[in-house]
Amino acid sequence: MSSDNASSPQRQARDLRFFLTVPHPCSYLQGREATTLFLDPEETVADEVYDALTLLGFRRSGSNLYRPHCEACNACVSVRIPIGDFTPSRTQRKLMNRNSDLTTRLVPTEFNEQHYALYARYIRARHADGDMYPPSRDQYRMFLTQAHPFSKLLEFRLGGHLMAVAATDLLGHGLSAIYTFFDPDPIFERRSLGAFAILSQIELARKRQLPHLYLGYWIRDCQKMRYKQDYQPLEYLNGGRWQRLVPASALT
């Protein structure tokens, strides 16, 4: 069990203003409605505010900080990887070796036409049924190029070819993996670029001596969100405390 206690973040967040959305269709579980709690957009997202809210299960999308707040459902579970305890599996080690020819570079979240072209290809190929389709430059700018001091983009290149981009936030107590998009060409499928981006962020957190990588929400009954349980050990937020997830129990 992690020793983190959310009482201090709760004190830091108590003077902030939050709003609830009206119920809307859930993006992850078909046939369900969701309600979202989000920080007042007029509030300044200072580093200490973001750090505190992340410990309380909040995520960032563009300039908004939010977390699920559904009365009849608690399927969205905040999870993070404790960097000091993480050991890659045999499959993950093979994946790291398979992508050892890629170079990585941390760059500012400035609009880049090459980044956007890759993002648009990825959305059209992988998420044509999602709420980010069809892609547009304005949507991309709002989502991934907000000029926060803590936000960065991690580029992955094979020679001069842009293979993937991972948006990641630098927090006081870890990294927060925001979003990854990659070349959807089937010839690169064996590289599992999405998984490699997570492993690369784990390594970046280790190099920066940061204790955690926050992965957002794990949803057991949502196929596209289950991949997060492949990274062990994993900690989850339960009643204001971060605890070790025992894989065999799967939170049942």
Q: Please state, in angstroms and rounded to a whole number, the distance separating the CA atoms of residues 249 and 231.
A: 15
Q: What does the pLDDT look like over 161-177, one tens digit per residue?
A: 999 999 999 999 999 99
Does the pLDDT at position 5 exceed 60?
no
What whole-number percentage of the chain has pLDDT above 70?
92
pLDDT at 14: 62
Quote the CATH superfamily of domain 84-207: Gcn5-related N-acetyltransferase (GNAT) (3.40.630.30)
Q: What does the pLDDT look like over 194-216, one tens digit per residue?
A: 999 999 999 999 999 999 999 99
Does the pLDDT at position 252 exceed 50?
no
Q: Indicate the SS3 state at residue 107.
A: strand
Does the pLDDT at position 144 exceed 90?
yes
Stretch (H or E) spanning 213 = strand 212-218
Q: What does the pLDDT look like over 10-50, one tens digit per residue?
A: 655 567 999 999 999 998 898 899 999 999 999 888 899 99
Which residues, in sequence order, are bridge partners of residue 33? 25
Q: What are phi and psi of 157, to 5 degrees?
A: -130, 145
Does the pLDDT at position 193 exceed 90?
yes
Q: Where are the domains of the chain?
A: 7-80+218-227+234-245, 84-207
Does the pLDDT at position 250 exceed 50?
no
Q: Indicate the SS3 state at residue 200.
A: helix
Q: What does the pLDDT look like over 73-102, one tens digit per residue?
A: 999 999 999 999 999 999 999 999 999 999
Q: What is the pTM of this model?
A: 0.91
pLDDT: is 147 or 135 the higher one?
135
Q: What is the mean pLDDT of the chain?
A: 92
Do the Cβ atoms of 69 and 35 come closer than 8 Å? Answer: yes
pLDDT at 164: 98
Q: Residue range 134-150: average pLDDT?
A: 94
pLDDT at 3: 44
Assigned token pair, 60: 């960032």
pLDDT: is 8 or 1 the higher one?
8
pLDDT at 10: 65
Which residues have CB under 8 Å from 218's CB, separation 6+?
76, 77, 78, 79, 225, 226, 228, 229, 234, 236
pLDDT at 8: 65
Which residues, in sequence order, are bridge partners of residue 60? 65
Q: How confident is the model at residue 6 (pLDDT cuts 50, 70, 90)?
A: very low
pLDDT at 11: 58
